[in-house]
Amino acid sequence: MIDGEFVDSVWTDVQVGDVLKICNRENIPADVVLVASHEPDIDAPRGACHVETMQLDGETNLKGKMVPSVFSNALGASLELQLANFAKLPGHVEVEAPNASTNTFNGMLHVQGYPPAPLSITNVLLRGSTLRNTDYVLGLVVNTGRDTKVMQGARKPPSKESSIYHSIQLMMVGIVILLIILCLAASAGTESAYSAIGLDSHWYLQDGTSNNFFLNTLYFFTLLSSFVSVTLNASIALVQKVIAQFMQWSLDMYDQDSDTAATVRTASLVDELGIITHVFSDKTGTLTQNVMQFRKASINGVSYGRGTTEIGLARLKRLGELPTDEVEALEAGLVCKAGAGKELVNFDDPALDEILRKPLQVGLPSTQEACCREFFLHLALCHTVVTEIFEGKTTLSASSPDEAALVSAAQHFGFEFVDRHHDTVTVRDTTQGERLLRYDVLDVLEFTSARRRMSVIVRNCDTRAISLLCKGADSVMLPLLAPDQDELKLRTEQHMIDHSNDGLRTLVITSKELNEETYLAWSREYRRATSDILELERNAREEPNKIDQLCNELETRLKLLGSTALEDKLQVGVPACIADLVRGGIATWVLTGDKEETAINIAFACQLLDAETDLLVISRRNHSTLESMRAALQNGCQTHPNKEGARKGLVVDGDALELLMKTGTEQAGAQLAFLHYTQQCAAVVACRCAPTQKAELVKLVRRNVRGAATLSIGDGANDVAMIQAAHVGVGISGQEGMQAVNAADFAIAQFRFLRELLLVHGRNNYRRLSVLVYYIFYKNVMMVLSVYWFNTYNAFSGSKWNLEVGYQLYNALFTLFPILWIAMTDRDVSDENSRVLPQLYQLGIRRHYFNAWAATRWVLQGIYESLAVSFVCIYGLLKMSNNGEDPDLYLIGAATLTLAVIIVRVFTTHPSPCSRRLRACHVCTTLRPTPCTHSRT
Amino acid sequence: FWCTLQLGAGVMVLSIRGKKTPLEERTNRPADTAFKQQKLRVWRPILSPTAAIATFATTGLLFLPIGLVLAAVTNQVVEVESINYAAVCTTNPCYINLTVTEKMVAPIYLYYKLSNFYQNHRNYVRDREDAQLAGESSLTPSALSCTAAKTRYPAGSAGLAEAGWEFNSMQNVVSPCGLIASSVFNDSFRLSTAGGAPVPISESEIAWETDRRLKFQNAADGSTGRNFAAFNYWRSASCDDLPDTSLRQPCLDAADSTLGPVGWCFPGSGYCAEDEHFIIWMRTAGLPTFRKLFGTIAVDLEPGVYRVQVSNGVLDPNTGLYMKQDLSGPQEDLYPVSVFGGTKAVVISTLVVGLGGKNPFLGLAYIALGVACIVRNPSPPRPPTAT
């Protein structure tokens, strides 16, 4: 706003003190203090707005923000009034120094004529969030650019280098030590030559120079300096660049839906992809499409909904209960139906449609029909969804994708949620003709992770009947059911098990009629409890409190209507990809901002966890102290899974992590127990994680697990810290937001390309680079040493037997290009075999190709070959020069060089000095397709 | 295996779904070429047991006969080596015997063999000036890369002042310079039968043709042989005494040099830097024990004892004595090697065309490799044990 007029402005021009008008679905360009918001009801201004903070912390639900009461009282409800009044209010704002905490904000609002009012995070919209469900807000800019919280949280990208570089440095040290030893030995040799051979008496050698141990050592140093090839670093960089280009060209990592090919942003890490031990994955947008689909339902003991899911299919295959052709038929059906894409309802069962849409008949509807109607009416009423008018269209804005799916399902079956106005919910019933049903929502008993259910109490505006509608997780809902419906309960339970096996998320749908008196009595108590600050605080801390107690009182003796089954749409190919990563020996961690249940469900859906997994849950709720956490973890380490082949799994929540991650001696013990346990786990799920906690976890593993090579994959701004903290960061591109990609070293369009990236490209790259490095060392060691051995024949005088030009060309021309080409393109097994045998990847994790022993082996190979070449040339050429003379110096030299070039180049076709172990390993992995346990501590 | 493969195919089918970018808009799609997709034709040799066994067997069966033939051929070389004459010779000339036990068929090669002589020592190898040897003119001492024996007189010496020379002048230069040239081996050999009948030794065309033609030339400015003891006789000899009469005129043309009489050290003479014994010496041997060619014998040698006359210095035709190079007095010693524990010997040998002298290495190497291939032939693999 400039001089009372709003002008369009780009975010770079926004300055502290500006007043911004931000419209619905716009990104917040700076940290702003709310001044006013659109008031849908002029008479009852509430000063509220919603934001979505997915780019900030990965949480997808809408968060409420409040205009400070000073403003909401003083400014009025319409835009004109708000602007006019605001202009009349002199005052200033005191705010904290810029910091990275997205959950806190401290400030003080000083407005003339009002007492100073504190500002908290609920009054502030942070840059990176998106305004939702609110037509507009007015905001006062308090932080811009680098001072905003999201930018404070984004650290400068650390410069990353491949671990191969680190190993090279170690190898260099080893080589230099060997070099020094050889030089000293040669100098000592010179000394002994003077005494043993008596070089002083060799009159033809006396040129006036004197023998000097130090100078001799230096001379040998220059002679042998080619040990460390000058071309090494340049060769590595060149090969990495070319490999990176090949990766970007790969059609196997090209996503045609989004028209995105893989991008390599840090070419120097292409080989690091071959030794990854831990994959840290974000959930939303990475593993899942963040779309929930209504797939199946069980109503009054009848299951509706046909077809199966990818997960169900995988399970069928695993169990092998169905003949192959049937599985294939199902698979084909899945592909056809996949066209449903991002619809919220993906339901295929004409039976249900028939029941609901059959023409109105005389007489009472059948029981089943009544149940179905009640079921979907329940779905249309029992939720906290609000309508949002955006670009002229009414859309539903749900705090979770589950609710959006359920409400959409109700609409699909003829019970359309129209509006929520003044606590009155309007539902349009289109099953038989069209009529509007109105319900007053009397109370909403909200969902908490402790209760794991939610209820609404509604009054039918026509019949004035009050009913409690309750939905929740089966584990908590089933005990609350009224007796005398055992048969129904059994059938529904069976259906829910079937649905769960398909990887669907089930909810139990129940209802209960309330009579007026009971409700009023309960309501009085409830009002009193919810206005008691003490009880509210207890409730917030999840301690026993009156509010929960009252809710529990009401939610009993429920009537079972049925259950729903939602599919949390995974990204394509995720379970198969993860299964392959597990077989490749890579531990997969899911780090998400979502709540525990969602995270666990996804882990199941991705086949990270299965029914046989020995799951340990560490949360603040069940382990309030560090000591109990440590004990539980240590206990977990010692117990063995009760079933053969069962794996261990860990679920940990953000609060527990916060306690765990603090530095301190006490924490160190618990951290150690945590790491010990996680190393035994096939899967670790961390939920309710803040972005910084994700990064902390990555760092914890990176620092403390020996040989760990970590990879973080994510798509949002909230994954940036994690991506930067890991050895290798991978961003999902082609979706919304580029922050993750910009911070990442590699960008791929789909999670499933991770398989291609690691198992095929990573494996090859690591092997290629290892061979390149060793080969360059090897060929130089061989060349240089062959000259060295010659010195045993010339009184260690430091003579060379070839001309300098041959020496240099050997390095740069004769032997370099073949190995470069091989390092760019070689593969030991076909790409197809790399994919179907992920076990091959374990060679990288075990550092099969690049380790101290391999290095020694290559150097020994060089030494052995140099000895062979030298002595063959020395003895093989005797009397074989022109006219039967003994060969002259340069003839031997030329022969040695030629032989060395031939041997070194032939060797490129068979580059591993010890193939026997590799072969054994291949056989082992071929015969044993079960995943090798990942047990390093 | 096939199940997994099909699963892979299934995943690929599944991927073609969802919101699609129309084909014509897919601008980021990498080109599907064999190169970019790394689908170029490859040769992937599989070391199957059959292939490995066949390869080894073929190699072995091929190498063994080759080795046997080579060994047999090399074995036919007749080689006779004298005793270390440095230990027995006290006079100049000196006579030693060579006992030929088998008939030697021409061409026969006569070598001298030195041991414990470090021609490959760094100080020695580098101490030469190729430009000077190739006959480049006006190379003053400062232009030479030699370390030793570069000037007649060191800087500031009395001799320099006496002669009235600049230190860095062509008068003061030593040509050829350096340790290799100054230590040139200068014993020479005459062969005769026990009865005293001389066996002719040809001493021409024994050095490398390229060396003779390109690398060793007497300098046009007459500097070759200047201040160099080993060429003294040739440098001061008269053109009229040249055996090849056609060279007398060029000799006379070159005789007038500012650097004093050139003698036979003119370009194209075949003496001094163009002397083939000198050229052979300048090609430094690779090992401390080496033999170098002295001459070739064009007649067959029947079994029997032959006498070798070893001499050093210039034969004075009038007195029959071997004189020092400057003819200032009789040359008493042969080439000195005993002072540093070296040995000298004379060797005569026949050669195998293309293979050189008596070195069984190649034949033995082929035999060893052939045997190794056959003996170490991989056995067929065990059947995999059931797990």
pLDDT in tens, B318-355: 888 999 988 888 998 999 999 999 999 999 999 988 88
Q: Is B327 exposed, middle or buried (CB count within 10 Å of its CB: 0-12, 13-18, 19+)?
A: middle
Paired residues of A459 in beta bridges: A440, A466
Among the ranges given (A324-338, B173-187, B226-240), the one the predictor scored with the smallest mean pLDDT = A324-338
Of B147, B287, B357, the CB nearest to A208: B147
A924 pLDDT higher than 70 = no
Q: If pLDDT is split at 50, 70 and 90, which confidence band does A933 have?
A: very low
Enumerate residues 904 to 933 of chain A having a beta carbon within 8 A of any beta carbon in chain B. Answer: 909, 923, 927-928
Rounded Cα gap, residues A432 and A408, in angstroms? 18
Cis omega (within 30 of 0) on the bond before B107? yes
A479 pLDDT higher than 60 = yes
Q: If pLDDT is split at 50, 70 and 90, which confidence band does B7 have?
A: very low
Residue B356 DSSP symbol: B
List pLDDT tens digits, range B86-127: 999 999 899 999 999 999 998 999 999 999 999 999 989 999
pLDDT of residue A502: 76
Residue A202 DSSP symbol: -
**C-alpha separations of B75 from B79, B83, B176, B301, B369 in Å:** 10, 22, 41, 18, 19
Indicate yes or no: CB of A572 within 8 angstroms of CB of B358: no
Q: Are A844 and A764 in contact (CB under 8 A)?
A: no
- Residues of A annotated as part of the active site: 282
Q: Please provide the average confidence, as pLDDT, over all residues in chain B.
A: 87
Enumerate residues 676 to 735 of chain A having a beta carbon within 8 A of any beta carbon in chain B. Answer: none
Q: If pLDDT is split at 50, 70 and 90, which confidence band does B291 have?
A: very high
Q: Are A13 and A30 in contact (CB under 8 A)?
A: no
List pLDDT tens digits, range A812-830: 888 888 888 888 888 888 8
Of A794, A877, A891, the CB nearest to B118: A794
Q: If pLDDT is split at 50, 70 and 90, which confidence band does B302 have?
A: very high
Q: Which helix (H) or strand (E) holds A142?
A: strand A136-143
Residue of B nearest to A920 (CA): B384
CB-side exposure of A22: number of CA atoms within 13 Å?
37
Residue of B nearest to A891 (CA): B286
Indicate yes or no: CB of B148 within 8 angstroms of CB of A923: no
Q: Fill in the amino acid letter for A914.
A: C
Give the Cβ contact number of residue A834 at 10 Å: 23
Rounded Cα gap, residues A667 and A669, in angstroms? 5
Residue of B nearest to A331 (CA): B10
Indicate yes or no: CB of B36 within 8 angstroms of CB of A573: no
Residue in this structure with the two tokens 């060191």, named with its chain if needed = B154
Q: Which residue did the predictor score with more confidence, A542 or B30?
A: B30
Among the ranges given (A584-588, A909-913, B38-42), the one the predictor scored with the smallest mean pLDDT = A909-913
String of b and e for A110-142 (b: at least 16 CB within 10 Å)? ebeebeeeebebebbbbbbbbbbbbbbbbbbbb
Of A201, A250, A879, the CB nearest to B357: A879
CA angle, B347 as apex, B346 and B353 as ends, to 5°? Answer: 150
Closest CA to A334 of A297, A303, A307: A307
Q: If pLDDT is split at 50, 70 and 90, which confidence band does A157 have?
A: low
A256 vs B contacts (CB less than 8 Å): 16, 20-21, 26, 29
Q: Which of A423-432, A520-529, B106-115 has the highest mean pLDDT?
A: B106-115
Question: What residues contact residue B46 under an 8 Å CB cut-off, 6+ apart?
Answer: none
B233 pLDDT higher than 80 = yes
B20 vs A contacts (CB less than 8 Å): 256-257
A251 vs B contacts (CB less than 8 Å): 29-30, 32, 37
Of B4, B124, B362, the CB nearest to A204: B124
Indicate yes or no: CB of B148 within 8 angstroms of CB of A208: yes
pLDDT of residue A177: 92
Q: What residue spans of B206-338 are helical by DSSP H?
A: 209-210, 232-236, 248-255, 276-282
**C-alpha separations of B377 from A195, A690, B59 in Å:** 48, 64, 10
Rounded Cα gap, residues A168 and A174, in angstroms? 10
A836 reaches B (C-beta below 8 A): yes
Secondary structure (3-state) at A64: strand
A542 pLDDT higher than 70 = no
Q: Are A150 and A56 in contact (CB under 8 A)?
A: yes
Q: Which of A878, A919, A927 is best to mutate for the B interface (most B CBs within 10 A)?
A: A878
Q: What residue spans of A213-359 are helical by DSSP H?
A: 213-224, 232-249, 310-319, 324-337, 350-357
A320 reaches B (C-beta below 8 A): no
Closest CA to A297 of A381, A376, A365, A367: A376
A687-695: average pLDDT: 83
Question: What residues contact residue B55 under an 8 Å CB cut-off, 6+ apart?
Answer: none
A310-327: average pLDDT: 65
**How much of chain B exceeds pLDDT 70, in percent?**
90
Q: Which of A886, A908, A910 is best to mutate for the B interface (most B CBs within 10 A)?
A: A886
A344 pLDDT higher than 90 = no
A631-637: average pLDDT: 82
B183 vs A contacts (CB less than 8 Å): 203-204
Of A341, A797, A872, the CB nearest to B121: A797
pLDDT of residue B10: 32
Of B14, B26, B116, the CB nearest to A572: B14
Q: Which of B120, B337, B362 is best to mutate for the A interface (most A CBs within 10 A)?
A: B120
Q: Which residue did the predictor score with more confidence, A704 or A639?
A: A704
A888 reaches B (C-beta below 8 A): yes
Give the pairing of strands B108-115 and B343-350: antiparallel
Residue in this structure with the two tokens 């090949």, named with its chain if needed = A246
CA angle, A163 as apex, A160 and A168 as ends, to 5°? Answer: 120
* d(CA A361, nearest CA chain B) in Å: 41
A681-687: average pLDDT: 86
List pLDDT tens digits, range A60-78: 667 778 888 888 777 777 8
List pLDDT tens digits, range A283-298: 877 888 777 788 888 8
Q: Which of A607, A796, A883 is best to mutate for the B interface (most B CBs within 10 A)?
A: A883
* d(CA B160, nearest CA chain A) in Å: 20
Supply the ipTM of this predicted assembly.
0.87
Residue of B nearest to A242 (CA): B36
B289 vs A contacts (CB less than 8 Å): 886
**How much of chain A exceeds pLDDT 70, in percent?**
87
Among the ranges given (A212-221, A492-501, B52-61), the one the predictor scored with the smallest mean pLDDT = A492-501
B71 vs A contacts (CB less than 8 Å): none
pLDDT of residue B275: 95
A926 pLDDT higher than 60 = no
DSSP characters over A650-674: EEEEHHHHHHHHS-SHHHHHHHHHH
A752 vs B contacts (CB less than 8 Å): 11, 15
pLDDT of residue A925: 35
Q: Which of A238-242, A840-844, B5-9 has the highest mean pLDDT?
A: A238-242
* d(CA B95, nearest CA chain A) in Å: 24
Rounded Cα gap, residues A579 and A841, in angstroms? 13
Question: What residues contact residue B344 under an 8 Å CB cut-off, 6+ apart?
Answer: B84, B85, B86, B112, B113, B114, B187, B334, B335, B337
Indicate yes or no: CB of B14 within 8 angstroms of CB of A310: yes
Rounded Cα gap, residues B84 and B86, in angstroms? 5
Q: If pLDDT is split at 50, 70 and 90, which confidence band does A918 have?
A: very low
Enumerate residues 253 to 272 of chain A having a beta carbon within 8 A of any beta carbon in chain B. Answer: 254, 256-261
Rounded Cα gap, residues A818 and A821, in angstroms? 5
pLDDT of residue A389: 67
Q: Are A717 and A744 in contact (CB under 8 A)?
A: no
pLDDT of residue A735: 58
pLDDT of residue A910: 55
Q: Which of B5, B6, B7 is best to mutate for the A interface (most A CBs within 10 A)?
A: B7
Enumerate residues 728 to 787 of chain A having a beta carbon within 8 A of any beta carbon in chain B. Answer: 750, 752
List pLDDT tens digits, range A552-590: 888 888 999 999 988 877 888 888 899 899 889 898 899
Q: Are A262 and A254 in contact (CB under 8 A)?
A: yes
Q: Which of A603-612, A616-625, B121-130 has the highest mean pLDDT?
A: B121-130
Q: If pLDDT is split at 50, 70 and 90, which confidence band does A162 have?
A: confident
A799 reaches B (C-beta below 8 A): yes
* d(CA A261, nearest CA chain B) in Å: 6
Rounded Cα gap, residues A142 and A18, in angstroms? 8
